[in-house]
Amino acid sequence: MTETLHSADLQALLQETGVPEVLERLDRELIGLAPVKGRIREIAAYLVVDKLRRELGLGGSRPVLHMAFTGNPGTGKTTVAMRMATILHRLGYIRRDHLVVASRDDLVGQYIGHTAPKTKEILKRAMGGVLFIDEAYSLYRSENERDYGQETIEILLQVMENQREDLVVVLAGYADKMEQFFSLNPGMRSRIAHHIQFPDYTEAELVAIGQLMLTEQNYYLDEAAAQAFAEYVACRMRLPNFANARSIRNAIDRFKLRQARRLFERGGQVTPDDLRRIAEEDIRASQVFKDCAELEQGGHHAP
């Protein structure tokens, strides 16, 4: 006798889990990144429907949830992983709303017998939640046959397969290096269900990100400083070692240091507005402007 399936209210489930709220928060936190946000919404929708299917007895096996986030530094990969952990927890796919961030140094030992305990300790901390491995490609060093990273990879592969109901692994790194990593470790590629590419931010997006960071910290740019900041961003993007939003965050920290020094050296009374305002001179004192000028004088093309 065939069991009668009852209907389910998709909107009610969404509201009950709070997933729309998490997605809205992601929209507020991250400027731009439309393709990434689209993929996260798509994955969230799939998981909500999968949850309903299983509740109504239509279900199959639990979906594979391991992911790869590829892109340059400072493009929001860690933030998105944090929000994904919240979504997975609210939908019941992981036990804890918990993210552990690890790198090669946290996982790979320096001598025989050192790697397995380090890797297992990180896995133990992450179990029930999400393990985010930054620069995951560094785990495999093909040029060194005695490198211990391969041991970490083998342990990860086993856990990703056998304990995938209690741990979601997100591998992150540069797109080209991650592609090479997967080509050299096909077992790892086969365990990844979702590959998400994180684009670089545009100049306008970086300016908006900087303004948002300042607002959140109760600072603001006066009109001349806002113009100087836009020029700063354009210059910084042309120089080496640019890391998207991470470089902007570091720049703002230096602006705040210069503002503090300016106020300290001036002395006297200060108003709340003095303490909040970043002035043009706090920005234009940056070495970035000099480096940009040298780049133009040298006739080199920006990297």
Q: Which of 68, 77, 94 is nearest to 169 (CA)?
A: 68
- Asked whether the predicted pLDDT for residue 14 surpasses 50, the reply is yes
* CATH architecture, range 203-298: Orthogonal Bundle (1.10)
β-pairing, 130-133 with 99-102? parallel
Where residue 201 falls (left for φ over 0; alpha for ψ -120 to 50; beta otherwise) is beta
pLDDT value at position 123? 97
pLDDT value at position 11? 74
DSSP symbol at 172: E
The answer to whether 10-198 and 203-298 have equal CATH topology is: no
CATH of domain 10-198: 3.40.50.300
**What share of the chain has pLDDT > 90, as a percent?**
73
- Asked whether the predicted pLDDT for residue 284 surpasses 50, the reply is yes
- Please report the DSSP string for 15-74 in residue order: HHHTHHHHHHHHHHHS-S-HHHHHHHHHHHHHHHHHHHHHHTT---SPPP--EEEEE-TT
pLDDT value at position 303? 34
Q: Does residue 226 contact residue 99 with C-beta atoms inside 8 Å? A: no
| 194 three-class SS | strand
Strands (E), the chain: 67-71, 99-102, 130-133, 168-173, 194-198, 220-221, 277-278
**What share of the chain has pLDDT > 70, as a percent?**
95
Domain extents in the chain: 10-198, 203-298
Split at pLDDT 50, 70, 90, the class of 1 is very low
What would the pLDDT profile of 38-60 be if each residue is shown by its tens digit?
999 999 999 988 888 887 888 77
pLDDT value at position 302? 39
Average pLDDT over residues 224-239: 97
Q: Does residue 194 contact residue 69 with C-beta atoms inside 8 Å? A: no
What would the pLDDT profile of 186-217 be if each residue is shown by its tens digit?
999 999 999 999 999 999 999 999 999 999 99
